[in-house]
Amino acid sequence: MTPIRTERLILRNWEDRDRELFYRINSDERVMEYFPFRRDRAQADVKMDELRAVIDRDGFGFSAAEIAVTGQCIGFVGITRTDHLLFLPAGTVEIGWRLAPEFWGHGYVTEAAEAWLAYGFETLGLEEIVSFAVRDNSRSTAVMERLGMVADPARDFDHPGIPDSHAMLKRHVFYRLTAKDWRARKKAAR
């Protein structure tokens, strides 16, 4: 992937130097509050390698986000295909993120996500980008709303990958943003 630069960030493919941070965000209780699992180091390494391979194949994905002036990786933000979620229509692309807690509240996710929306709509020519989160995950839904995404309650769902032992994490709210609405929002902001 060609790195994407924002005002403060570089969005790029994963590098071996990111492994410690990737493990940390995938095992941190606060970061993973709305997930039914925590990854150990070996599992995190495998997942990071999977994300890197997706980016190598597609040219986009859940990419590393680093602070441009320090080179410090802070987590990931990106867009990716949802082909592994068979209940979504083929070709659906989601936007998602996960940052280390010390980087929450600084606008990094919104800044990076705006760049990925531009990439998705302008470069890839997507008609819609979606996002979803556990119903009670107000931090993520607040980001979705800041991005101009709209809740679509008719598409809310019980995530099939969440075991019954974690029933409170099953219900997911669904948000979407169309290219048309994204362009209108950008035009209005000028």
Those residues with Cβ within 8 angstroms of residue 119's Cβ, 6 or more apart along the chain or in another chain:
4, 60, 79
Angle between helices 41-58 and 19-27 (to 10 degrees): 120
The CATH number covering residue 136 comes to: 3.40.630.30
Q: Across 37-170, where does the E strand assignment appear?
A: 62-67, 73-81, 93-99, 128-134, 150-151, 157-158
Q: Show the domain range for 14.
A: 4-189
Q: How many CB atoms lie within 10 A of CB 166?
A: 14
Specify the number of domains making up the chain.
Answer: 1
Q: How many CA atoms lie within 13 A of 148 on its CB side?
A: 20
Q: Tens place of pLDDT for every residue, the chain, 190 residues?
A: 899 999 999 999 999 999 999 999 999 999 999 999 999 999 999 999 999 999 999 999 999 999 999 999 999 999 999 988 878 899 999 999 999 999 999 999 999 999 999 999 999 999 999 999 999 999 999 999 999 999 999 999 999 888 889 989 999 999 999 999 999 999 998 8
Whether the model clears a pTM of 0.85, i.e. scores above it, the answer is yes
Pairwise CA distance, residues 98 & 65, whole Å = 10
